[in-house]
Structure 1
Amino acid sequence: MAAQALEGLAHTVRRLWPADRTAVLNYFLRLDPETRASRFMGNVSEAGVRAYATQALTAEGVMYGAFVGGALRGLGELRPMGPGASRYVLGPHAEAAFAVERAFRRRGIGAALFARIARSARHRGVVDLHVRCLSGNGPMLRLAAKHGAALQHEGREIEGALHLARPTPFSLWYEGIAEAFDFTLAASFPEQMRPPA
């Protein structure tokens, strides 16, 4: 798709559901080698990507996707970092991971995914939201710093932590409405269920 055509396309961020499994697999398989290595903190084979995508939507935590023109182009994950997580409460510490396809960067998709995941984490009992990335992952470092994460270098990896405010009754209500809207969007506009190429 030409760069000019991409400019006019808006993105929609919503929660991903088990019915989105094919879209998630197709997305991971489309990532260029560098983006895939940044997302998984190292090289991952196609078989490894397929295995991960198969279980990603049923693992503990939640996933959010950014759709452009009906296709999944960015993906964010929120995963608990300790025992005792449930469907609605992840515990005080959770980890966020993101990736956006190279051709769709610098359009606010990463920022929208980060904001949506931080809001979701806040309403699932998370106090500290952690991010990890390779030291060369400039987009992730800029995103974490922009949202106020304290960054620490650990060899070739960088870890950041963002302290989240406690939810309010209004923010909890708003999150419930957003989740219901996400489900409605998923049911109304499913991505084409083609098998991956």
Structure 2
Amino acid sequence: MQEVFIEGGLIRKLWPVEAHAYRDHLLRLDADSRRSRFGGAVSDEMIRSYAATLDAAETIIHGFYVDGILRGAADLRLIPPATSREAEAAFSVERPWQSHGVGSALLERCLLAARNRGIKLMHIACLSENHRMQQLARKFAAEFSFDFGTVVGKVQNPRPTPLSLMRELVTDSHSFAAACLDFQARLLRPAAPAADGTQPEGGTASAGAQNG
């Protein structure tokens, strides 16, 4: 149950030990994609800080991987308190992989994760000129309101079902196996600098919204 795209890419969930891969992906975004993802210009240091503060209990990230490298991500964050039943979602895809259906697949996984956690409203915030994100959300029945140059989409999710829970369980098991294979492959690669110019963690292993 992993969608296959160009160049053998696949969608899978990220695990806490892969925070560095998410950081490097965000650092690789071009200026326009970075602005679309964060709603404005952000520095490399801000991105490093953002990636370092991920809360595994309240954040679910699905990634688009090509040859073991994260090229796109859907970041779903639960809004406290838990009784609010709301979440925020943000998407990022590196430019060479945009407009290939990656964003749609990431959003679909994000909706499944939100549904299985009882989320009733998923907010998707993007700049008013980000028409690609707006069109993507509208494909999933989002309704938009405009306020000070920002578009906020709310997606109503149905209740979880045994089938939806099983779908996520199966994809999670596949994702964990794929993550293990990626880790083993990185151990066998020559060391390479990370996206921010630093040496990768672990010696021999390489570190590893705009929308699709």
1:101 to 94, 98, 104: 94
In structure 2, what is the equivalent of residue 77 of structure 1? 75
Q: Taking CA–CA contacts closer than 8 Å with sequence separation of 6 or more, which of the two structures ends up with the larger relative contact order?
A: 2
Alignment of 1:41-190 (within 5 A): 41-56=39-54, 58=56, 60-84=58-82, 92-190=85-183
What is the DSSP-based 3-state SS (H/G/I as helix, E as strand, rest coil) of the residue aligned with 1:130?
strand
Alpha-carbon distance between aligned partners in 1 of 2:33 and 2:55, rounded to the nearest angstrom: 20
Paired residue type of 1:42: G
Alpha-carbon distance between aligned partners in 1 of 2:24 and 2:95, rounded to the nearest angstrom: 15
Offset, 1:59: 6.3
Offset, 1:69: 2.3
Q: Which structure 2 residue ranges, 5 or more long, are not aligned? A: 198-212
In structure 1, what is the equivalent of residue 205 of structure 2? none
In the superposition, the TM-score normalised over structure 2's length comes to 0.81
What is the DSSP-based 3-state SS (H/G/I as helix, E as strand, rest coil) of the residue aligned with 1:35?
helix
Deviations 1:104-162 (A, max 9, x none): 11111100100000001000110111100000112211111111100111121001111
1:14 to 3, 12, 23: 12
Q: How many residues align?
A: 186
Offset, 1:12: 0.6
In structure 1, what is the equivalent of residue 27 of structure 2? 29
Q: Which structure 1 residue ranges, 5 or more long, are not aligned? A: 1-6, 86-90
The question of whether the paired residues in 1 share the 8 Å contact of 2:143 and 2:153 is answered with yes
Alpha-carbon distance between aligned partners in 2 of 1:35 and 1:59, rounded to the nearest angstrom: 27
Q: What RMSD, in angstroms, separates the aligned Cα atoms of the two structures?
A: 1.9
**Percent of aligned pairs with the same residue?**
36
Deviations 1:45-102 (A, max 9, x none): 11101111112264622111101222111011111122137xxxxx511111001111
In the superposition, the TM-score normalised over structure 1's length comes to 0.87
The question of whether the paired residues in 2 share the 8 Å contact of 1:21 and 1:57 is answered with no
